[in-house]
Amino acid sequence: MRRVYLDSNATTPLLPEVLAAMQPYFIDTFGNASSMHHSGQHARAAVDHARESVARLLGCTANELVFTSGGTESDNLALFGVIDALPSTGEKHHIITTAIEHNAVLQSAQALSARPDVELTTLRPNAQSLIEPSALEAALRPNTRLVSVMLANNETGVINPVGKLARIAHAAGALFHTDAVQAAGKLPINLAGEFTNVDLLSISGHKMHAPQGTGALFVRKGIRVAPVLHGGTHERQRRAGTENVPGIVGLGAAADIARTWLASEGPQQVAAHRDRLEQTLLNKIPNTGINGAGAPRTINTTNIYFNNVDAEALLIALDLKGIALSAGSACQSGATEPSHVLTALGLEWPRARASVRISLSKLTTDEDIDYAAETIAATVEHLRSIS
């Protein structure tokens, strides 16, 4: 059976070049990067090299990166790390985040807000699913310590005006974190340019063709984060634990590939595939629309609703025909509740339940798009006819 993978916001496969870069570090050069001897030095050099690669992708310096086990850990380290590093003055610490964040940020913020000295404000998006600068301005308080707003949403692909939001947070004396897990490798990120006011930024390897269980947190020079994991002095005392050398090498290789790809025609090709799929589905299927349409979106993502179709039934039927996509985010699959992101957009329950996320990658082909468009249209029509 033909298999078409359209769930790249959940995870992406390793690129062969990434696997090839990692391979020596499992057996031949297996050292602990903290060891003094030759093997250790070799591993350390590989980690340093990968750090430079990730720094080039993000426009920061290598010392500003902390390697982690992925997006979830990076987000936890950003939020808990900033709050735990604050001196206790007896004053309450105010945090601002948004209702459309990934649970890694939302749940961290909520866990922090259970502390007696932390207050939390959760901003809602506008109808286009964007976090508006005016909403942030209105929520800032003299004791706001940290603002966390994601760069690209994992479900709709909508891109928030993070450069502007970070400037506003700074003007009020607050630090700014962004979860860029769904943006890294898909759109240019320049921490020395547009994002110069961003203090902390999370990325995850497996969303950009590096291995699962790898990631990094950018921490701007001079910003203090208390470690979440306690132990050795790894990662300049910000993240204890023996480095995952092959994984980090994979992340570095994927970062190099992404940087070259971003400067090529590649992103336009992915956008053209996404737009063609969207247009074909909108033309072929009545009572269909895009959630987040009209807002700037990542090139690979569409969140589309087919009225009077149950998204879960559609996913199952499509899976039987070899097409993989998702309803809500991967961590919520199996849940019967509609996603918190779609609910935050103000979507009524029937429309949220009828929405699916289709996410492409640079590996998606023209033939994949043809097969997906035809099969999705036929399956929606069939499900409607029997409902």
Residue among 180 and 314 whose Cβ is closer to ligand PLP: 180
- Label the pairing between strands 288-290 and 301-306: antiparallel
3-state secondary structure at position 210: coil
Residue in 316, 331, 335, 363 annotated catalytic: 331
Q: Does residue 98 bind ligand PLP (CB under 6 A)?
A: no
Taking CB under 6 A as the criterion, the residue among 14, 47, 71, 131 binding ligand PLP is: 71
Q: Does residue 154 bind ligand PLP (CB under 6 A)?
A: yes
Q: Where are the beta strands (DSSP E) in the chain?
A: 4-5, 65-68, 93-98, 118-123, 144-148, 175-179, 200-204, 215-219, 288-290, 301-306, 323-324, 355-359
Instruction: Tell me the CA distances in angstroms from 39 to 27, 31, 259, one per residue in order.
Output: 11, 5, 29
What single DSSP character describes residue 264?
A: S
Residue among 31 and 70 whose Cβ is closer to ligand PLP: 70
Taking CB under 6 A as the criterion, the residue among 42, 51, 93, 102 binding ligand PLP is: 102
Residue 144 CB, nearest approach to ligand PLP (Å): 22
Residue among 329 and 364 whose Cβ is closer to ligand PLP: 329
Residue among 40 and 241 whose Cβ is closer to ligand PLP: 241
Q: Distance (Å, rounded) from C-alpha 56 to C-alpha 188?
A: 11
Q: Distance (Å, rounded) from C-alpha 347 to C-alpha 291?
A: 9
Taking CB under 6 A as the criterion, the residue among 7, 64, 179, 199 binding ligand PLP is: 179
Residue among 44 and 297 whose Cβ is closer to ligand PLP: 297
- One character per residue 211-250, x = contact with ligand PLP (rule: CB under 6 A): ----x-----------------------------------
Q: Does residue 185 bind ligand PLP (CB under 6 A)?
A: no
List 96's β-bridge partners, or say none. 121, 147
Is 60 one of the annotated active-site residues of the chain?
Answer: no
Q: Does residue 104 bind ligand PLP (CB under 6 A)?
A: yes
Q: Of 211, 210, 236, 234, whose CA–CA distance to 223 is shortest?
A: 236
Residue among 70 and 338 whose Cβ is closer to ligand PLP: 70
* CB-count exposure of residue 47 (10 Å: 0-12, 13-18, 19+): buried
Number of H helices, E strands in the chain: 13, 12
For the chain, helix, strand, coil in percent to 5 are 45, 15, 40
Q: Which amino acid is at 323?
A: I
Q: Does residue 97 bind ligand PLP (CB under 6 A)?
A: no
Instruction: Kindly determine how many residues on this chain lie close enough to bind ligand PLP according to the rule CB under 6 A.
Output: 15
Q: Does residue 150 bind ligand PLP (CB under 6 A)?
A: yes
Q: Does residue 55 bind ligand PLP (CB under 6 A)?
A: no
Stretch that binds ligand PLP, among 69-77, 166-174, 304-312, 357-365 (CB under 6 A): 69-77
Instruction: Tell me the CA distances in angstroms from 365 to 3, 5, 18, 66, 274, one per residue in order.
Output: 12, 10, 20, 35, 11
Taking CB under 6 A as the criterion, the residue among 8, 12, 72, 97 binding ligand PLP is: 72
Q: Does residue 7 bind ligand PLP (CB under 6 A)?
A: no
Q: Does residue 160 bind ligand PLP (CB under 6 A)?
A: no
Phi, psi of 302 (to 5 degrees): -135, 140
Instruction: State the catalytic residues.
Output: 331
| Contacts with ligand PLP, residue ranges (CB under 6 A) | 70-72, 75, 102, 104, 150, 154, 179, 181-182, 204, 206, 215, 329
